[in-house]
């Protein structure tokens, strides 16, 4: 019989101990045999400008963009051994881009492979509007996959209220868990969409420092926003949702009573 984990481990991995040990041993082997130079992770909540941030970082570091997860599975985005083994057998710098929670499978590669990372977050009411627009565009293109691995068929047939209720009740708890989880794990990893839009010089200086790059290393002006699908969502665009949805979002956030969500509008 496999040895069971009697208490939940620190980062939420509930599999048998031998699986955790195998995962960590393989990460150590990857690090020992590494050919790459540096690993970066641009992690974010969806609809927060991660593609633009990644593009600026990629241009400055001449890095290849890779997916470190399992290409065959349509599930919550996580690193996998197959993805890491596939992508680390190359020279140069590598960037991973995820929308991933701070679980065991994501935290261990960060720690064992010395991945420099950020987490981009955004005002939640504004995000709800952007998600609605994104999903309507996706449904109209028959691309109806939602994270984490959910498919929904009739989104574009719902009225405004039902669509926003769905976003608030199903998707926003994922966002709140993301902000809470990464904010507890490494508060300095959190950067904000609002600063990216309002003061990009300060934002990219912060990202450069976080990624271990020199001052002024990230030149956002040298990267065309239009070429990177950067659709700037106006700050404050979700204000009309305040009366209806802010109390509900605060209720969800209330399950984490000692955490400050004020910077994402709660």
- On the question of pLDDT at 5 being above 80, the answer is no
Q: Which of the pair, 189 or 223, is modelled with greater confidence? A: 189
pLDDT at 78: 87
At 41-52, the pLDDT tens digits run 999 999 999 999
The predicted pLDDT at position 80 comes to 87
Contact (Cβ atoms closer than 8 angstroms) between residue 163 and residue 179: no
Asked whether 99 and 80 are in contact (CB, 8 A), the reply is: no
CATH superfamily of the 17-264 domain = P-loop containing nucleotide triphosphate hydrolases (3.40.50.300)
Distances (CA, A) of 158 to 22, 133, 162: 46, 13, 6
pLDDT at 181 over 70: yes
Do 102 and 81 touch, CB atoms closer than 8 A? Answer: no
Here the tokens at position 235 are 């700050």
Mean pLDDT along residues 17-22: 80
- 9 versus 107: the higher-pLDDT residue is 107
Asked if residue 19 has pLDDT above 70, the reply is yes
Residue 13 has pLDDT above 70, yes or no: no
Lowest-pLDDT choice from 120-134, 190-204, 210-224: 210-224
Distances (CA, A) of 77 to 17, 44, 83, 104, 172: 22, 11, 11, 12, 17
To the question of pTM greater than 0.95 for the whole model, the response is no
Instruction: Give residue limits of the domains in the chain.
Output: 17-264
Q: Assess whether pLDDT exceeds 90 at residue 236.
A: yes
CA distances from 265 to 112, 167, 179, 200 (A): 34, 16, 12, 20
Which pLDDT band, with edges at 50, 70 and 90, does 54 fall under? very high
Chain-wide mean pLDDT for the chain?
A: 86
Helix (H, G, I), strand (E, B) or coil at 36: strand
pLDDT tens per residue across span 77-88: 889 888 898 899
Model pLDDT, residue 140: 62
Work out the average pLDDT over 111-137: 94
pLDDT score for 172: 96
């Amino acid at each position: 019989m496999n040895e069971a984990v009697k208490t939940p481990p620190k980062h939420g991995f509930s599999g048998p101990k031998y699986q955790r040990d195998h995962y960590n041993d393989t990460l150590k082997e990857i690090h020992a045999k590494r050919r790459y130079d540096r690993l970066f992770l641009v992690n974010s909540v969806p609809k927060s400008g991660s593609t633009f941030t990644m593009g600026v970082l990629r241009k400055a570091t001449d890095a290849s963009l890779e997916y470190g997860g399992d290409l065959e599975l349509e599930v919550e985005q996580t690193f996998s051994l197959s993805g890491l083994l596939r992508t680390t057998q190359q020279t140069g710098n590598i960037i991973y881009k995820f929308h991933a929670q701070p679980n065991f499978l994501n935290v261990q590669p960060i720690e064992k492979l010395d991945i420099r990372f950020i987490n981009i977050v955004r005002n939640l009411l504004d995000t709800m509007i952007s998600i609605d627009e994104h999903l309507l565009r996706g449904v109209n293109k028959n691309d109806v996959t939602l994270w984490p691995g959910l498919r929904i068929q009739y989104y574009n047939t719902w009225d405004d209220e039902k669509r926003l209720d769905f976003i608030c009740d199903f998707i926003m708890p994922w966002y709140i868990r993301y902000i809470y989880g990464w904010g507890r794990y490494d508060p300095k990893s959190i950067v904000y969409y609002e600063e990216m839009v309002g003061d990009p010089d300060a934002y990219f200086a912060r990202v450069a420092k976080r990624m271990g790059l020199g001052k002024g290393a990230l030149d956002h002006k040298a990267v065309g926003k239009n070429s990177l699908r950067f659709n700037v969502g106006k700050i404050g665009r979700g204000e009309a949702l305040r009366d209806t949805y802010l109390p509900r979002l605060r209720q969800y956030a209330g399950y984490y009573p000692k955490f400050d969500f004020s910077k994402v509008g709660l």
